[in-house]
Amino acid sequence: MNIDKSVSLFREAQALLPGGVDSPVRAFRAVGGQPLFIDCGEGPYLYDVDGNRYIDYVLSWGPLITGHAHPHVVEAIQKAAVKGTSYGAPSPLELDLAKRVMEFMPNIEMIRFVNSGTEATMSALRLARAYTKRDKIIKFEGCYHGHADLLLVQAGSGVATLGLPDSPGVPANTVKDTLVAEFNDLESVERLFKRYPEQIAAIIVEPVAGNMGVIPPRPGFLEGLRVITKREGAILIFDEVMTGFRVHPGGAQTLYNITPDLTTLGKVIGGGLPVGAYGGRKEILQMVAPAGPMYQAGTLAGNPLAMSAGLATLELIRDQKVWDEMERHARQLDVGIESAAKKAGVPIQQTRVGTMRTTFFSETEPVDWNTVKGADKVQFAKFFQKMLSNGVYLAPSQFEAGFLSIVHDERVIAETLAAVEQTFNTWWQ
Ligand SMILES: *Cc1c(COP(=O)(O)O)cnc(C)c1O
């Protein structure tokens, strides 16, 4: 595989951008080697600047549920662009996307669009604090909710990958009200409520954790969070930035039939353009300015291109049959990897909910950050590099989810499984 152009671009990039990238995990530090510079994406494929083609299971870290440059999405963006790229004033597109999102997630009675998942979670927590008039919040170890100061405590994703406990530049004061509990452990939540009675505004949780690799909630865990927050007068926030439309068309709240007070969204609802959103109970959302006193604003919020891309994307996954096919293909992938690894005598643990999945190189069942962090990163890096040279692009870290799209069809899955066979057949060489 020739990657000369990527090598030269990465050299130049390191002088221009910190670490040569605009988001840390892209730099491949957890797996070695160097990032590929991308020329274009088409359907399930990514093409690097040296002309190599890869089947893409990163899909821009989740948003591209319809694959790269789906003609329907591209057409929607083009149509919107000729009508102007931003108005700074309301447009009917915002109502269309709001209604479409609510069709998928009926618990959302009112919604505010923002520009990223980070903005969504940051704002939802501000809202929960404003509504409850309390300051403390609970997050879970290994869960990632974007890079806002108050959430950069024992977070997953890039923070976990780089092994940073938190980040310099985050003042101790801004995280002093952030309490950390263990995912899948209700006792650890109860302890915090006992210790800080009537001080906790909200629990924020990835209902299926995706940012330490995919970790499904244990039966009763999410139900328990709902019961505890109700009893304690705290707000339950489901951060569905990743799980939305991915673990079920209606997100984790529909899959597990639990009603959170607030939901944060991002990724898929922007169809590859920058969008986030927070929504939920009308009574709470009415506190957001200008309806209420909680301030939050955005120059490009509700951007017509982003709204159009999101609408076109959600139209394409509305048909349950289309979504079910995507999940079936995800399952085929699990089965193929499982059997190839077994044949080669490589211990793995696979987790999947809907169209989000992870292959852990571990002998321990991953159920929380403690069990996940022991996964064999050297084995994972080997898997990543072999798959890459066999034409499959995976997330360059053990602690990430992999994603499918509606254009990862039978043929693409077969092609992927051939690469998987090849990878494990040569494992010990
Ligand atoms: C990606 C992600 C975010 C942050 O979204 P950005 O758009 O990257 O700011 C927040 N929460 C979860 C669960 C995510 O997966």
39/111 same-domain check: no
* Cα–ligand 1 centroid distance for 242 (angstroms): 7
Rounded Cα–Cα distance for residues 5 and 316 (Å): 35
Same domain, 139 and 30: no
| Domain with 19 in it | 1-58
Same domain membership, residue 48 and residue 157: no
- Under the banding of pLDDT at 50, 70 and 90, the label for residue 152 is confident
pLDDT range class, residue 159, cuts 50, 70, 90: low
Which residue, judged by its Cα, is nearest atom 6 of ligand 1?
A: 117
Residue 384 domain-assigned (yes or no): no
Q: Which atom of ligand 1 is nearest to the CA of 116?
A: 7
Query: Does residue 403 form part of some domain?
Result: no
Query: Of 292, 316, 340, which closes a domain?
Result: 316
Last-in-domain residue among 269, 290, 316: 316
The tens digit of pLDDT for each residue in 295-333 reads: 999 999 999 999 999 999 999 999 999 999 999 999 999
**What integer pLDDT is reported at residue 154 of this predicted model?**
78
Residue 216, in any domain of the structure? yes
Rounded to 5°, angle at Cα 97 from 249 and 282: 85
CATH number for the domain harbouring residue 92: 3.40.640.10
Residue nearest to atom 11 of ligand 1 (CA): 145
> How much distance in Å is there from the Cα of 194 to the middle of ligand 1?
30
Token pair for 211: 């940012």
Q: What pLDDT score was predicted for residue 267? A: 98
Question: Predicted confidence band at 173 (pLDDT cuts at 50, 70, 90)?
Answer: confident
pLDDT in tens, 188-236: 999 999 999 999 999 999 999 999 999 999 999 999 999 999 999 999 9
Distance 210 CA to ligand 1 centre (A): 10
Sheet of 402-403: strand order equals 349-353, 356-360, 402-403
pLDDT at 157: 62
- What is the C-alpha separation between 389 and 40, in angstroms, rounded? 18
The pLDDT, as a whole number, for residue 171 is 83
Catalytic member of 48, 56, 185, 239: 239
| Same-domain check for residues 287 and 258 | yes
Average pLDDT (240-252) is 98
**Structure tokens given for 297:** 């604003």
pLDDT for 160:
53
Protein residues with CB under 6 Å of any ligand 1 atom: 116-118, 121, 144-146, 206, 210-211, 239, 241-242, 266, 276
pLDDT at residue 166 above 80?
no
pLDDT band at 176 (very low <50, low <70, confident <90, very high): confident
| 16 Cβ neighbours under 8 A, 6+ residues apart | none
Say if 359 falls within a structural domain: no
User: What is the average pLDDT across 121-126?
Assistant: 98
- Catalytic residue check, 342: no
Same domain, 53 and 87: no
Residue nearest to atom 15 of ligand 1 (CA): 242
Of 22, 115, 145, 268, which is best to mutate to test ligand 1, by the most ligand atoms within 8 angstroms of its C-beta? Answer: 145
- State pLDDT tens for residues 329-347: 999 999 999 999 999 999 9
Q: Tell me: do 48 and 84 sit in the same domain.
A: no
Mean pLDDT of 30-47: 97
Nearest of 382, 344, 340, 377 to residue 360 by alpha carbon = 377
84: helix, strand or coil: coil
Same domain as 150, residue 15: no
The domain boundary residue, chosen from 271, 296, 316: 316
Do residues 17 and 149 both lie within one domain? no
Q: Is 295 a known active-site residue?
A: no
Catalytic residue among 136, 139, 267, 373: 267
112 Cα to the center of ligand 1, angstroms: 16
pTM for the full predicted model? 0.97
Same domain, 53 and 162: no
Reported as a single tens digit per residue, the pLDDT across 63-85 is 999 999 999 999 999 999 999 99
Pick the atom of ligand 1 nearest to 267's CA: 7
Q: Which atom of ligand 1 is nearest to the CA of 274?
A: 7
Report the 3 state secondary structure along 366-387: CCCHHHHCCCCHHHHHHHHHHH
Q: Please compute the mean of the pLDDT values over residues 356-378 and round it to a whole number.
A: 96
Q: Which of 23, 140, 240, 242 to mutate to test the pocket of ligand 1 (most atoms within 8 A of CB)?
A: 242
The domain tally of the chain equals 2
350 CA to centre of own chain: 18
pLDDT of residue 172: 80
Q: Please give the Cα distance from 17 to 13 (Å, whole number).
A: 6
Predicted confidence band of residue 156 (pLDDT cuts 50, 70, 90) = low
| 143 CA: nearest ligand 1 atom | 13
Is residue 101's pLDDT more than 60? yes
- Which is the closest atom of ligand 1 to the Cα of 276? 7
% the chain with pLDDT above 90: 93
371 lies in some domain: no
Q: How far is CA 84 from CA 93, 207, 305, 308, 312, in A?
A: 13, 37, 9, 12, 18
Residue pair 71/267 in contact by the 8 Å Cβ criterion: no
Domain annotation covers residue 110: yes
- If asked whether residues 142 and 218 sit together in one domain, one would say yes
47 plus 183 within the same structural domain? no
Is-catalytic flag, 239? yes
